[in-house]
A and B are shown apart, each in its own frame.
Chain A
Amino acid sequence: MTTATTTADVRTELDDDSGTVWQRLARTQAVWILGVLVLIVAFFSIVGGRRFLSANNFSLISQNLAVLAVLGVGMTFVIITSGIDLSIGSVLVFASVISAKLMSAMGGDGAGVVVVGILAAIVAGAAWGWLNGFLIAMAKIPALIVTLGTLSAALGLAYVLSKGVNIAVDATSLTDFGIYTRIAGVPALPLLALVIVVIGGIALHRTRFGRHTYAIGSNQEAARRVGIRVNRHLMWVYLLTGLLAGVGAVMYLAQFGTTTIGGQSLTNLNVIAAVVIGGTSIFGGYGSMFGTVVGLFIPAVLQSGFVIIGVDPFWQGVAVGAVLIAAVYVDQSRRAAAQRGAKSTRKGRHNV
């Protein structure tokens, strides 16, 4: 570096942080939404008292969230690429039917049976994810259409395979794990979900794979021009999302001991809502795994709180809808303000 000496003086002038850590955090949507969650929890704690604010209740909430959280990991990646996956609920049902059928065909409760059941669900989920990815990245069909198609097809095939009759899981070691196993007092399924969320968050925020995910959602053409293999990357993202739906299927079977063919029709929308409430931009390029977790808790806490304080729980749907729209509105107007004020705030920052 021959220019080292001349650069040194300039470098002191180049200040690489735009505000303190806290200022930067405060600018992220996820933190605002966390504030909303805290307010909701505080409200129900005051009104509902100990019945709401108890380890038992929160353990229940986390049980209900475990499967959605695993699906949310994949959905966060998908939405950050500015894609969408409507098929995850159907893929989950399909994978659970395949898994349950295989396990009941093998019979008994051996470790081999459970392992086969788990692998079958994961492979079935990944297969649908691969198909989604192939049609979106290679055949260039819009993600909305592809996954609307696979939503219908996967559920249809699940009905064909099961003849519309739910299949019970006899492998009690799997269901025992889902229902009774606790690790350090925490139920096993939420803990498993937490591990997957943390791994997903690290992959998204810390690795090259995650960086490329943001880049593709931000400016796909730019990503292509710097040599990122965009199509291959998108295939991986959808494949992993399908695979995680397969994992969700296993968790679902472990939790309920049976398939629920008709019970996942709103799963996709619930997960998408959680991701978006958590501040991930539906237009791609922006979002966080932490936000998705917060976005999952808001509907779940509302549901639980309404039941406890005796409000008709159907109001939960209304409240979540309002929060969803408000979250996107706030996010958009903040970003519009940032665009308008880009120059003046930078000047302001420079003075600080």
Chain B
Amino acid sequence: MAAVLTAEGLSRSFGHVMALNGADFDVEAGEVVALIGDNGAGKSTLVKALTGNLALDAGVVQFEGRAIVLDSPAEASRFGIEVVHQDLALAPHLNPAQNMFLGREIPAKGVLGWFGFMDNKEMRDRTRTGLADLGGTVRALNAPVGEMSGGQRQQIAIARAMQWASKVIFLDEPTAALGVVQTRNVLDSIKRIRDRGVAVVLISHSMPEVLEIADRVQVLRLGRRVATYAGKDTNVEQLVGAMTGALDFQHTENAA
């Protein structure tokens, strides 16, 4: 299968720090790629660059074989690329439905829609469906999300990204604030959208989670990709070795 999103030689420095130093990355439609690496390896920077949240110093990003420039999150959204940020990026005073459709409100039918009126009922129904798909614990669709627990907020952010991601979805530590059951639900949901043909990029520190769900694992270290493994052929020792550099290997890029 052809890669839906590829990056070659991405570089970005902040002052003297090379956050990305010629990093490569690729993800295919309908697969889950785990992106792992130690703190400061460049995971978050890479995700920001691939979702229109950060400008690059050098490198090429290709979407379905065409070179593209992602200069804003809206631009990424137009390609069907969505991201769940670690900070979730929700508006705390708005309710789940308002957050879910923020910036993409469904206009009311007919003339009212021209004046900027919205179809709140339709948005609420679709939010309810989206959250139910996730098996969520969000009950109050009218309460501001700022009054909800961290786990509930995370579910809303994930449901939102899943709602809109038609091609690629980035999940930055999606299960960090979740309990056992919700984590299970998120992992199941990831499999479900993968089966829908969406490319999933998962950033996680939980090795068991990565090994369970990832079709491929790409390891970042010091701002570049140092290894790619097939999820079913690798193990924790190997991954940790690659992350820390303990395994100094002749590239295993072909392992996948």
Chain A positions within 8 Å of B, measured between CB atoms, are 1, 3, 7, 10-11, 14-18, 24, 203, 206-209, 211-212, 214-215, 217-219, 221-228, 285-286, 338-339, 342-343, 346, 349-350
12 A-B contact pairs sorted by A residue (CB < 8 Å): A10-B132, A16-B128, A207-B116, A208-B107, A215-B102, A218-B91, A218-B94, A219-B89, A223-B91, A227-B72, A228-B102, A339-B146
- Tell me if B9 counts as interface (CB < 8 A to partner A): no
CB-based contact B139/A342 at 8 Å: no
Name A338's closest neighbour in chain B (CB-CB).
B147
Residue numbers in B under 8 Å from A228 (CB-CB): 102-103
Name A339's closest neighbour in chain B (CB-CB).
B147
Minimum Cβ distance to chain A for residue B52 (Å): 9
Interface centre among B104, B105, B117, B132 (most CB of A within 10 A): B132
B residues 70-118 touching A (CB-CB < 8 Å): 72-74, 77, 85, 89-94, 98, 102-105, 107, 115-118
Residue numbers in A under 8 Å from B148 (CB-CB): 342, 346
Minimum Cβ distance to chain B for residue A300 (Å): 29
Bound state CA distance, A334 and B20, in angstroms? Answer: 46
Name B85's closest neighbour in chain A (CB-CB).
A225
Minimum Cβ distance to chain B for residue A212 (Å): 8
Name A343's closest neighbour in chain B (CB-CB).
B149
Mark B109-147 against chain A: 1 for CB-CB distance below 8 A, else 0: 000000111100000100011011101001111110011
Q: Interface size (B, Cβ < 8 Å)?
A: 40
Minimum Cβ distance to chain A for residue B88 (Å): 8
Interface centre among A217, A218, A225, A346 (most CB of B within 10 A): A225
CB-based contact A16/B141 at 8 Å: yes
Residue numbers in A under 8 Å from B146 (CB-CB): 218, 339
CB-based contact B147/A342 at 8 Å: yes
The 8 closest A-B pairs by CB, nearest first: A227-B74, A226-B103, A285-B93, A207-B116, A218-B91, A16-B141, A218-B93, A18-B140
Name B113's closest neighbour in chain A (CB-CB).
A208
Residue numbers in B under 8 Å from A211 (CB-CB): 94, 98, 102, 105, 118
Name A4's closest neighbour in chain B (CB-CB).
B129
Residue numbers in B under 8 Å from A349 (CB-CB): 139-140
- Tell me if B44 counts as interface (CB < 8 A to partner A): no
- Tell me if B53 counts as interface (CB < 8 A to partner A): yes
Chain B positions within 8 Å of A, measured between CB atoms, are 53, 72-74, 77, 85, 89-94, 98, 102-105, 107, 115-118, 124, 128-129, 131-133, 135, 138-143, 146-149, 192
CB-based contact A11/B129 at 8 Å: yes
Residue numbers in B under 8 Å from A218 (CB-CB): 91-94, 146
CB-based contact B89/A207 at 8 Å: no
Bound state CA distance, A215 and B92, in angstroms? Answer: 9
Minimum Cβ distance to chain B for residue A190 (Å): 25
Name A80's closest neighbour in chain B (CB-CB).
B93
Bound state CA distance, A214 and B72, in angstroms? Answer: 22
Minimum Cβ distance to chain A for residue B227 (Å): 31
CB-based contact A350/B139 at 8 Å: yes
Minimum Cβ distance to chain B for residue A220 (Å): 9
Residue numbers in B under 8 Å from A208 (CB-CB): 105, 107, 116-118
CB-based contact B73/A224 at 8 Å: yes
CB-based contact A342/B93 at 8 Å: no
Minimum Cβ distance to chain A for residue B206 (Å): 25
Residue numbers in A under 8 Å from B85 (CB-CB): 225
Bound state CA distance, A285 and B128, in angstroms? Answer: 23
Given the interface pairs A207-B116, A342-B147, the reply to whether A222 lies near B91 with Cβ below 8 Å is yes
CB-based contact A18/B89 at 8 Å: no
Given the interface pairs A211-B105, A224-B73, A225-B85, the reply to whether A16 lies near B142 with Cβ below 8 Å is yes
